């Protein structure tokens, strides 16, 4: 029975692992923390899996648990990480590849996203994942109206970060 | 608005650069936490042993041996050092075995068994340290006393203790011993306690999962 559960879980996780990797991209700056967060997400998912009844899709459930993990973990560390130091390693590498103006702008955007707080990052992430407001509100456990209001605020925040 | 949509497009493009883990790698990840805790127990035991050796090199010099000679503790010291190194080696070996066993475990039941085994090994190890420290302290103290009694010259007329003084003396000695052992116990509680607590938590989670 338990073996069966493990097999089911790992198969689902393997198919949907991109979700976790993308969350790690938004929340972490280097490969090591990416791997740490990924592992933490995996463990949290596995712990929560017995409670997953299958009344939603695995991916929907995974968005919720994985984002919660990232938010909780990030919140714990928040005080020790100054936002100024957020100049990320893998975006530095990326920046060498950015040659024209559009790409330069993209780099600025990514940097700005990294400076957002834990919840705002989750909002941006879900937006980038093409989720509609109903899905966003469901995943984050807030009302749809609240999600819209928050998203608008995030957009303003991003604008201010890019053109100070 | 435009900005975010630009980002969205790029976000989609980035998807193909994401890492991809295999089924086996992900499978192992579920168990990894316990194995890394047990690995730390193993690493710490080695560090501790090396610290002991380094400390030994600094403390044990000719003066030290002369002192031991004076208290006729030379053989005793050599034997205890030899024994304690042997026993410590044995524990390091056990810690290593535990680590090896846990990192190759692939069922929850076995993992739980190994976690219990690891906790037991650590407990035995700490008991060994406490008992041997206490024993060492008492023997050294006794030999020093004996040496003092044999060699000291009675300078004052009344050297012998009356009953109260004996009580105070024994009480004081036991107090020092208690404080010493308490301090050692505390250090080990802090060093290994954190790791053991994490293992315990992991064990409980596994058990819960088994029940469901």
* Domain encompassing residue B66: 30-148+169-211
* 8 Å CB contact of A43 and B30: yes
What per-residue confidence (pLDDT) applies to A99? 60
What per-residue confidence (pLDDT) applies to B45? 80
What per-residue confidence (pLDDT) applies to A143? 92
What per-residue confidence (pLDDT) applies to B84? 84
Distance CA B134, CA B80 (A): 13
Range name among A73-87, A119-133, B13-27, B181-195 with the lowest pLDDT average: A73-87
Residue A116 Rama label (left phi>0; alpha psi -120 to 50; beta): beta
* 8 Å CB contact of B26 and A13: yes
Judge whether B155 lies within some domain: no
What per-residue confidence (pLDDT) applies to A88? 44
In this prediction, residues B32-42 reach a mean pLDDT of: 72
> Mean pLDDT for chain B?
79
In this prediction, residues B21-37 reach a mean pLDDT of: 75
CATH of A1-81, one of 1.10.1740.10, 3.50.50.60, 3.10.20.600, 3.40.50.970: 1.10.1740.10
What per-residue confidence (pLDDT) applies to A89? 43
Alpha carbon distances (Å) from B157 to A145, B160, B161: 95, 9, 12
Chain B residue numbers touching A159 (CB-CB < 8 A)? 3
Distance CA B195, CA B202 (A): 11
ipTM of the complex: 0.73
Judge whether B110 lies within some domain: yes
* 8 Å CB contact of B26 and A162: no
Is it the case that residue B182 has pLDDT exceeding 50? yes
Check CB contact of A48 with chain B, cutoff 8 Å: no
Angle between helices B23-59 and A31-48 (to 10 degrees): 120
Taking chain A (164 residues) in runs of 10, the rounded mean pLDDT of each run is 77 92 89 84 86 84 92 68 42 52 82 88 92 91 92 90 81
Is it the case that residue B133 has pLDDT exceeding 60? yes
Q: Helix, strand or coil for residue A144?
A: helix
Residue of chain B with shortest Cα separation from A12: B23
What per-residue confidence (pLDDT) applies to A40? 86
* 8 Å CB contact of A39 and B23: no
- Based on the structure, what is the number of domains in chain B? 1
The number of C-alpha atoms within 13 Å of A116 and in the hemisphere containing its C-beta is 28
Check CB contact of A53 with chain B, cutoff 8 Å: no
Is it the case that residue B37 has pLDDT exceeding 80? no
Q: How confident is the model at residue B160 (pLDDT cuts 50, 70, 90)?
A: low
* 8 Å CB contact of A158 and B22: no
Burial environment of residue B80 by CB neighbours within 10 A (0 to 12, 13 to 18, 19 or more): middle
Sign of CA dihedral A30, A32, A36, A38: positive
What per-residue confidence (pLDDT) applies to B7? 86
Question: Which among B14, B20, B29 has CB closest to A42?
Answer: B29
* 8 Å CB contact of A2 and B18: no
Output the DSSP codes for A50-73. Answer: GG--SSS-HHHHHHHHHHHHHHHH
Check CB contact of A123 with chain B, cutoff 8 Å: no
């Amino acid at each position: 029975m338990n073996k069966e559960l493990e097999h089911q879980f790992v198969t689902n996780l393997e198919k949907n692992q991109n979700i976790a990797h993308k969350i790690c991209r938004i929340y972490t700056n280097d490969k090591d923390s990416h791997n740490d967060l990924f592992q933490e997400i995996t463990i949290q998912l596995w712990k929560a899996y017995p409670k997953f009844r299958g009344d939603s899709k695995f991916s929907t459930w995974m968005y919720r648990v994985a984002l919660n993990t990232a938010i909780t973990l990030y919140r714990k560390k928040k005080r020790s990480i100054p936002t100024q130091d957020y100049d990320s390693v893998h975006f530095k590498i990326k920046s060498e590849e950015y040659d024209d103006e559009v790409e330069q702008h993209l780099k600025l955007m990514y940097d700005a996203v990294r400076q957002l707080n834990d919840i705002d990052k989750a909002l941006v992430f879900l937006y980038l994942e093409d989720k509609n407001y109903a899905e966003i509100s469901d995943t984050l456990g807030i009302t749809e109206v609240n999600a819209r209001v928050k998203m608008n605020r995030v957009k303003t925040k991003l604008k201010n970060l890019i053109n100070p | 608005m435009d900005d975010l949509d630009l980002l969205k497009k790029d976000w989609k493009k980035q998807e193909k650069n994401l890492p991809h883990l295999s089924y086996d790698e992900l499978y192992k990840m579920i168990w990894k936490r316990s194995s890394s805790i047990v690995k730390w127990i193993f690493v710490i035991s080695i560090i501790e042993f090396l610290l002991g050796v380094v400390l030994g090199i600094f403390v044990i010099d000719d003066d030290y041996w002369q002192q031991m000679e004076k208290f006729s503790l030379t053989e005793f010291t050599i034997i205890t050092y030899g024994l304690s190194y042997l026993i410590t080696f044995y524990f390091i070996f056990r810690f290593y075995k535990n680590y090896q066993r846990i990192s190759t475990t692939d069922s929850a039941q076995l993992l739980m068994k190994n976690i219990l085994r690891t906790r037991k090994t650590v407990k035995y190890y700490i008991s060994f340290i406490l008992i041997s420290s206490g024993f060492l302290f008492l023997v050294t103290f006794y030999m020093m006393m004996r040496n003092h009694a044999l060699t000291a010259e009675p300078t004052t007329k009344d050297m012998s203790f009356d009953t109260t003084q004996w009580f105070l003396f024994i009480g004081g000695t036991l107090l020092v011993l208690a404080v010493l052992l308490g301090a050692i116990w505390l250090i080990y509680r802090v060093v290994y306690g954190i790791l053991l607590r994490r293992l315990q938590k992991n064990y409980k989670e596994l058990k819960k999962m088994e029940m469901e």
